[in-house]
Amino acid sequence: MAEAVRPSLFTVPLGHDLCDAAVTAIFERAGQLPLALNQAIIFLPNNRAIRSMTEAFVRRAQPGLLLPQMVAVGDLALDEALSPMFDPLDGSADIPAAIDPLQRLLLLAKLVKQDHAAKGRPVNANEALRLGQYLAEVIDELEIEQIRFGRFSDIEPGGDLAGHWQKSYAQLLNLVPLYNAELKTINKLGPAARRNVLLNQLARKLKAQQPQNLIAAIGVSTAAPAVAALLKTISLLPNSLVILPATDLAMQDSQWESIGSVGHAEDVPFAPISRETHPQFHLKLLLDRMGFRRDELTIIGQSNDRVNSTISAIFSLAEDTEHWRELSNAKKKLPHISVLTAQDSAEEARAIAVLVREALETPQKRIAIITPDRELALRISAQLKRWKIDVDDSAGSPLIQSPSGSLFMALAQAMANQFAPISLLAVLKHPLVMAGEARLGWLEKVRLLDIILRGPNAGIGLAAINRRIELWLADQMEKRKEINPEFALWWSGVQEQLAVLSSGKSNMFADILGNLQTVVDALSDGAIWRGEAGRQLSAFIEELNRQNLSVLGTIEREGIAALFAELLNNQNVRMPYGGHPRVAIYGLLEARLQQSDLVICAGLNEGTWPQLPGPDPWLAPRIRRELGLAGLERNIGLSAHDLATALGAKEVVLTRAKRDRSGPTVASRFLLRMQAFLGGNISYQNNATTYAHMLETPADRIKVDKPAPAPTMEQRGNIILSVTDFDRLMADPFAFYANKILRIKTLDPVDAEPSHAWRGSVVHDILEKWAKEDKCDPAKLMERSGNLLTNPALHPALRALWQPRIAQGLQWVAERTAELSVEGRNLLVAEQTVKGEIEGVKLHGRADRIDQLSGGGIAIVDYKTGKAPTDKSVSNGFALQLGLIGYLVETGGIENVSGTAEAFEYWSLAKKYDKFGSVSTPVSDTGKNNKMLTYEFVAFAHEKASEAIRAWITGMKPFTAKLHPEYAPYADFDQLMRYEEWNGREPLPDGEGK
């Protein structure tokens, strides 16, 4: 009777570098003879593992050694990788080619659109692509698990499933046969199906030929049936080596078996979800499908049984955690592991950078930073640059975030937004636009356009921007200000380039893509296609152009940017190999074959590590399990295995941040398990956060006093005062100084929300024309307010939001004016300039409205679209406008208007209680409610203004910042006065605080 062949199965304990261990084992088998090693064939999980294995050979091999041939089993283009070794694979010429991923995505999107349209539920191209991508993933899973489509018909959704799940399942039953029929028509195979064919064919060939050269499979843990069959075949070859990543051989047999006995998906249902989250689940599944027991594995290298058993206990099943209390304190220690908790992601990145910098002081020490958080990886890389340590993230960065990708997306977003100012400026200011010698002149014109476009949006499209520019140019000419003569010509050229995107002549995706490509190429002068990211973007667009883009149909303008984001979502840019030789940043996938002296596991927050499972819009969880597909939680188990493997390193630091940019975070379930298991034995890394804080804290803090500039008399003498300047002058003299002496003007944001000033300008303009041209005819006023709805100079959203409110406030003004006319009070002047002098200093203002009272006196009225000043601010001298206008009028400030100011009123058009419009006055004839007496107001305002002029205009009093902060609500110049640096640091008066 033939003796059973023992499989050549191995594993490495936690903490061992799988690649280095594999190289050692390969040298023991094949020796270091160049030709002998060159005959070996090594199967690895992915292309990135090939680079890691190559590096391991370089570290260990003698000079002149020829490397073995290495193939990525997980690569969907496996036939291209195998063809140099098998010339060709038997029968490979008869195997149809795999469908291109992009071609398949567009095909599935077309089928989804057709199916939804047939059911009367049409979807746009963006949603069709999203559903098509999820459908491709489901089909890949079915093909990887080799599940017959006939099993679908055996499963009845049943009434316990929600209606949308039943509809999705029925739709899937319809779409998959259509997809397969399309593949048959074009003679193509799905990528996973073709990989199965090639793997099975390779397994049959190896089994038949029994090659004598070394055949090894290193680190492959994918439990797909075809991969499991290939690994089984390799393990039984005469000269073979199959090394699985850290398989727990110390786990009790009962615990190992409780993970679940899983065979082929067609035969045995999957284990409960709780089992799939165990870090050893996928290895148990692989061994079961290979038909081998765990005790048939041999450990390579020396295992630290105490550390391994402790890590195994931490990740044990929930029902096994009751044994934690029985373990001795010695078994609840991992002295080589520490935990670092930062306040936020920025501090976490700085602290990790400090740890790396400290570790590099030890010669030959290798450091690995492992994190699934790409943003955190970018932060860490940036922080390390302060010590000129260049380290690249091996997982790459999204193409959409690269300079080339961001410019393309910015232009798509601008097109989608019909060139709203913010989107347009984002394109024109992009670093790749007009890069080179001409960029300085380009930016000067873009900055001028930025100034022009500030304030509330003036409409939609390039035509609205043209109107804004024309109005600005006309205003500059009227004011006789110098204009850059090249600006108009420059904008004409820019508009001509962008016009092809705003014309809307075609909304077919192929035409839109071609137009975007042409415009972005012209704007950047080809710079967008340079570099790694540029070449990848160019290749992707070329691939798009080769497809039948008509399947996406017409594209709505608003969805253009979202559509491109969907297409570019999975495109990552990996920079050329380089960086520091002893520091690396890995994603979880890249780290699976790596080990270093110091391992920093970063971003240990729930939702990041492990990442929460994404939804499957096609199959309900119960249907997935009945079909034999993996649960959505499978990745949690893989993330747990990645962490458990990393914990075996010589030195490990686990880091997390209490907050990220989205808000407070929750610690990872894995970290919480460790803290619960280790209890008081866990050590915390505090030095790194302390040093990280010191990096951002100066050794000596510079004391900043409250600014109080004292300009010369000559500078003060050139100030032109307005009646509204006194409020700021007395409350915040520094702000007055910045505005009037330094002549710094505040700018509205681009695409600003309509402020009180904007609404006030609109209202004042209407009321001025109503008074001067319409003779206060109520019907004419309502007609003017109605014209806001048809004014092309205003953005439709602004017209829709504010026109009804302004109209009701104006209607109240008309009614109020009519009522006063009956009482004998009539409007004298509106929006009239008032001039005069106080203390020899010229003063001017603008009277919104002055009425003639029946007794011969005059009433000063100020229109407000928001709240009126409080009585307290008026009585304390911080709202003098009405009183000063009264003074100027009484002293002849307006020609043909005379009289004593006997009434001062604020007419607010804002809504109060249940109606628009109200009248308030800061004075009283009787002095009730602590109001100032009416007849005293003009003299009071004159006195306060005189005091201010003598102090700051004709005197030498310094312009102190925030002299009366309670009356200085505006923060326009807070940054200039370095407000945050000195606020709250003023010394207390003598005797206080003791």
pLDDT at 81: 43
User: Cα dist. 627→56, 191, 266 in Å?
Assistant: 41, 21, 8
Predicted confidence (pLDDT) at residue 880 exceeds the cutoff of 80: yes
Q: Could you tell me what percent of the chain has a pLDDT over 70? A: 89
pLDDT digits (tens, 9 = 90+) for 174-186: 888 898 898 899 9
pLDDT, tens digit, 9 for 90 and up, residues 944-960: 999 999 999 999 999 99
Give the pLDDT confidence of 155-171 residue by residue, as tens digits.
766 656 777 777 877 78
pLDDT at 78 over 50: no
Cis peptide before 88 (omega within 30 of 0): yes
The answer to whether residue 93 scores a pLDDT higher than 70 is no
> Mean pLDDT highest for which of 49-53, 89-93, 133-137, 268-272?
133-137
Q: Distance between CA atoms of 356 and 597, rounded to whole angstroms?
A: 11
Considering only residues 804 and 221, tell me which one the structure prediction assigns the higher pLDDT. Answer: 221
In this predicted structure, the answer to whether residue 1 has a pLDDT above a threshold of 60 is no
Give the burial string for 559-581 (b: 16+ CB within 10 Å, else e).
ebbbbbebbbeebbbeeeeebee
Task: Compute the average pLDDT of residues 389-411.
Answer: 86
Is a pLDDT exceeding 70 seen at residue 88?
Answer: no
pLDDT-derived band at 329 (thresholds 50, 70, 90) equals confident
**Helix orientation angle between 560-568 and 531-546, rounded to the nearest 10 degrees:** 110
Greatest alpha-carbon pair distance for the chain in Å reads 130
Percent of the chain at pLDDT exceeding 90:
23
Across the range 195-205, mean pLDDT stands at: 87
pLDDT of residue 794: 61
| Lowest mean pLDDT across 596-610, 628-642, 721-735, 964-978 | 628-642
Taking a C-beta distance cutoff of 8 angstroms, is the pair 735, 970 a contact? yes
Lowest average pLDDT, out of 77-81, 714-718, 875-879, 931-935, goes to 77-81
Q: What is the model's pLDDT at position 711? A: 92
The larger pLDDT score, comparing residue 622 to residue 292, is at 292
What is d(CA 198, CA 92) in angstroms, rounded to the nearest whole number? 8
Name the DSSP letter for residue 685.
-
Residue 341, pLDDT score: 93
Q: What's the pLDDT at 856?
A: 86
Mean pLDDT of the chain, nearest integer: 83
Which of 117-126, 639-648, 693-702 is the most confident on average?
639-648
Give per-residue pLDDT as tens, 21-33: 888 888 888 766 6
Helix (H, G, I), strand (E, B) or coil at 947: helix
Measured distance CA(588)–CA(603) in Å, rounded = 12
Q: Does the pLDDT of residue 994 top 60, yes or no?
A: no
Indicate the residue type of 431.
Answer: P
Determine how many CB atoms are found less than 10 A away from the CB of residue 238.
Answer: 12
Please report, as a single letter, which amino acid is at residue 31. G
Spatial distance between the Cα atoms of 883 and 938, rounded to a whole number of angstroms: 5
Q: Specify burial of residue 588 (Cβ count, 10 A radius: 0-12, 13-18, 19+).
A: buried
**Burial status of residue 385 (CB atoms within 10 A of its CB: 0-12, 13-18, 19 or more):** exposed
Does the pLDDT at position 369 exceed 60?
yes
Q: What is the DSSP letter of 461?
A: H
Least confident stretch, 307-311, 411-415, 528-532, 901-905: 307-311
867-877 average pLDDT score:
88
773 vs 919 pLDDT, higher one: 919
pLDDT-based confidence at 153, cuts 50/70/90? Answer: low
Q: Which of 27-31, 643-647, 829-833 has the lowest mean pLDDT?
A: 27-31
What integer is the mean pLDDT of 566-590? 81
Cβ(467)–Cβ(792) under 8 Å? yes
DSSP state letters, 106-154? HHHHHHHHHHHHHTT----HHHHHHHHHHHHHHHHHHHHTT--THHHHH
Residue 87 pLDDT class (50, 70, 90 cuts): very low
**Tens of pLDDT, residues 458-498:** 677 888 888 888 888 888 887 777 777 788 889 989 998 88
| Least confident interval from 72-81, 134-143, 472-481, 506-515 | 72-81
Question: pTM, whole model, 2 decimals?
Answer: 0.81
Please compute the mean of the pLDDT values over residues 574-581 and round it to a whole number. 73
* Choice between 994 and 577, residue whose per-residue pLDDT is larger: 577
Mean pLDDT confidence for 567-591:
81
Q: Does residue 610 have a cis bond before it (omega within 30 degrees)?
A: yes
Chain position carrying tokens 């010191």:
694
Tokens in use for 660? Answer: 């990220």
pLDDT of residue 84: 40
CB 101 within 8 A of CB 139: no
Q: What is the DSSP string of 3-41?
A: PPPPP-EEE--TTS-HHHHHHHHHHHHH-S-HHHHHT-E
* Mean pLDDT, residues 851-855: 88
pLDDT for 264 equals: 45
Tell me the pLDDT band of 887, cut-offs 50, 70 and 90: very high
Which residue shows structure tokens 């017959």?
148
| Residue 396 predicted with pLDDT over 80 | no
pLDDT at 631 over 80: no
Residue 132 predicted with pLDDT over 50: yes
- What's the distance, CA 338 to chain centroid? 31
With bands split at pLDDT 50, 70 and 90, how would you rate the model's confidence at 747?
Answer: confident
Structure tokens at 354: 């400090």
Amino acid at 977: M
861 CB contacts (<8 Å, ≥6 apart)?
848, 849, 850, 851, 905, 906, 907
Question: Residue 952: what pLDDT?
Answer: 94
Indicate whether 340 pLDDT > 90. yes
Residue 243 burial class via C-beta count within 10 angstroms: exposed 0-12, middle 13-18, buried 19 and up: buried
* pLDDT (average), residues 279-293: 88
State residue 233's pLDDT score.
Answer: 93
Give the pLDDT of residue 149.
Answer: 73
- The pLDDT assigned to 799 comes to 66
pLDDT tens readout for residues 751-804: 777 666 667 677 777 777 777 776 777 777 777 766 665 665 565 666 666 677
